[in-house]
Amino acid sequence: MMMMKMMAESPLLKAKINRWILLLSCLDYFQTGVVLAVNMTLPSTLIRGIMGSEALLSVHYASFSTDMPIIKWQLRREKSVTIVQSIGTDIVGTLRPEYRDRILIFENGSLLLHNLRVSDEGTYDVEISITDDTFTGEGSITLTVDEPVSQPYILLEASSVLERSENVILNCSHETGTRTSYRWLKGGTALGNDTRLVLSHDHKHLTITRVTMADDDVYSCIVENPVGSSTSLPIRLSVYKRSSIYIILSTGGIFLLITLVTVCACWTPYKNPRRPMRKSFSRLYNQRTSRPRTADASPQEMQHSAKNAVTSLFILQQKDLSPGDSSVNSIGSTSELDHPPSYTHYVDSLTRANAQSMQRCS
């Protein structure tokens, strides 16, 4: 009774007594030549899985008993969740909905997960026990699930042709991939230490401040994660130095452009003050009056040409007159326009002059 009271009062004493009891039990088993325990080994305590593929959580156990093992797998969460429990390879009970048709148990206690998801990531505890064995085999395996990295590509926030002393930012981008890390290469080798090279906290962005001629090279980035890596296609940065000749030519071109714009803005087309109808008539009249007079032309033809010229001149002048012109008001009627008295004397005198010139020629 005194012993029980002391054990209740002292947890340390209670733990020591439990150890002695366990030791005595082990000595008893060794004396009989048989250790009733399940010996478990784990080939790997860390498994890296790929999203959508499968992962094998492999274990091995040994026991002197011929009975079927009871296998139990649990996933650590705030409260451990039982994934599967089986007797040998026969699953006991009903699987959780998220694990149906995705789990397979092997005779050695290993667990195979199909169609991995991100939610499958975590630490898995396994227990293997046999009825005849006193000690249960226990172990833990950590599973990570990652998405493969697609081929990255480099984005520039400016042109790849740079003037010396400019700044440039290179962005390493990719479509898929989890838990990624980034590395940069210049000319196929890792970037050296340079105060002008500024990397973001995750090394995804590379900034080169005040580029020099030595920065004229090819650049590429490498994206890595636990299940693989991928390298981008190289991109070329070209750095040039602006010379004095370039400055002179640029300045001259700008001045010439300004001059052309000014001239075009101030230029106005020339306007002919004479009326185009009278100009065309004068050309027509000159062509008709400048024909050479030959001996073959008869007086009747000359008289007919003169009458046509006078009639054409009168019609054109009447078309050019405006409605408010006083000359129109002075003409009385249409019949007077058909026989204008002011031109009759001119036609007769012109006809007589042509007849006299023909007689001289003959």
Per-residue pLDDT of the chain in tens (362 residues, 90 and over written 9): 444 444 444 555 555 555 555 554 544 444 444 557 888 999 999 999 999 999 999 999 988 888 889 999 999 988 899 999 999 999 998 899 999 999 999 999 999 999 999 999 999 999 999 887 778 899 999 999 999 999 999 998 777 777 777 888 999 999 999 999 999 999 999 988 888 889 999 999 999 888 888 889 999 999 999 999 999 999 998 888 776 445 555 666 777 888 887 777 776 665 555 555 554 445 544 554 544 444 445 555 555 555 555 455 455 455 444 444 444 444 444 444 444 455 455 556 656 765 665 666 55
Number of H helices, E strands in the chain: 8, 21
How many structural domains comprise the chain? 3
d(C-alpha 137, C-alpha 61), whole Å: 8
Q: Are residues 142 and 90 in the same domain?
A: yes
For residue 16, being part of any structural domain is answered with no
Q: Domain of 36: which CATH number?
A: 2.60.40.10
DSSP code for 13: H
Of 95, 126, 146, which closes a domain?
A: 146
CA–CA distance, 85 with 325 (Å, rounded to integer): 120
- State which residues form the domain around 71: 31-146
H helices of the chain, where? 2-9, 11-32, 244-266, 276-289, 299-320, 326-330, 334-338, 344-361
Those residues with Cβ within 8 angstroms of residue 41's Cβ, 6 or more apart along the chain or in another chain: 59, 60, 61
**Is residue 234 a contact partner of residue 219, using CB atoms and an 8 Å limit?**
yes
What gap in Å lies between CA 280 and CA 259, rounded to an integer? 39
Amino acid of residue 344: T
138 and 169 in a common domain = no
Residues 109, 62 share a domain: yes
Residue type, 256: L
One domain, residues 165 and 199 = yes
The CA radius of gyration of the chain, in Å to the nearest whole number, is 56
CA 122/CA 116 separation, integer angstroms: 12
138 and 35 in a common domain = yes
DSSP 154-174: EEESS-SEEETT--EEEEEE-
Can you tell me the distance from the alpha carbon of 135 to that of 351, in angstroms, rounded to the nearest whole number? 151
For residues 40 and 128, the answer to whether their CB atoms sit within 8 Å is: yes
286 lies in a domain? yes
Q: Are residues 119 and 174 in the same domain?
A: no
Q: Which residue has the tokens 């009733």?
A: 36
Q: Which residue has the tokens 């002391």?
A: 6
